């Protein structure tokens, strides 16, 4: 079992930055790909970014490409999502998730989820 806890969300003005953290416990994150997703009320959870267990491969949704950066520190058992140039449309609850094996953009392919952290971007 892997337990994930997100932190770092908050209220920020448009153009600002936040860094989300995803701390794991229970098992080492080595060998787990990490995905970042977001969700607004009444909408489906959508893919934001994913990073391989080595940290060498990352993929992003078109809407965040060039603004968000996924990274990880396996020694600290923690993954990060650096979010720059935030826009009001980035407002959502952000979740990290873990899966054994390769990166994936599909919500249903992840086995472990955090509780989410709210990000609110004001205009």
pLDDT higher than threshold 90 for residue 104? yes
What value does the mean pLDDT take over residues 13-33?
92
Note the pLDDT tens digit of each residue in 55-73. 999 999 999 999 999 999 9
Which residues are within 8 A (CB) of 62 and not within 5 positions of it... i.e. 6 or more apart? Answer: none
Given a contact cutoff of 8 angstroms between Cβ atoms, the answer to whether 92 and 39 are in contact is yes
**What mean pLDDT comes out for the span 46-62?**
97
DSSP secondary structure letter of residue 74: G
Report d(CA 11, CA 121) in Å as an integer: 6
Cβ burial of 45 (10 Å; 0-12, 13-18, 19+) is: middle
**Average pLDDT, stretch 14-29?**
93
């Amino acid at each position: 079992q892997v337990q994930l806890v997100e932190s770092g969300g908050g209220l920020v003005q448009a153009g600002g930055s936040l860094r989300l953290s995803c701390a794991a416990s229970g098992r080492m994150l080595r060998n787990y790909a990490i995905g970042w997703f977001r969700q607004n009320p009444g909408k489906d959870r959508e893919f934001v970014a994913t990073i391989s267990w080595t940290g060498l491969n990352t993929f992003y949704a078109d809407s965040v490409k060039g603004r968000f950066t996924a990274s990880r520190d396996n020694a600290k058992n923690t993954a990060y999502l650096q979010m720059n140039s935030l826009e009001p449309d980035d407002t959502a609850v952000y979740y990290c998730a873990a899966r054994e094996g390769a990166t994936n953009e599909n919500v249903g392919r992840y086995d472990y989820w955090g509780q989410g952290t709210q990000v609110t971007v004001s205009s």
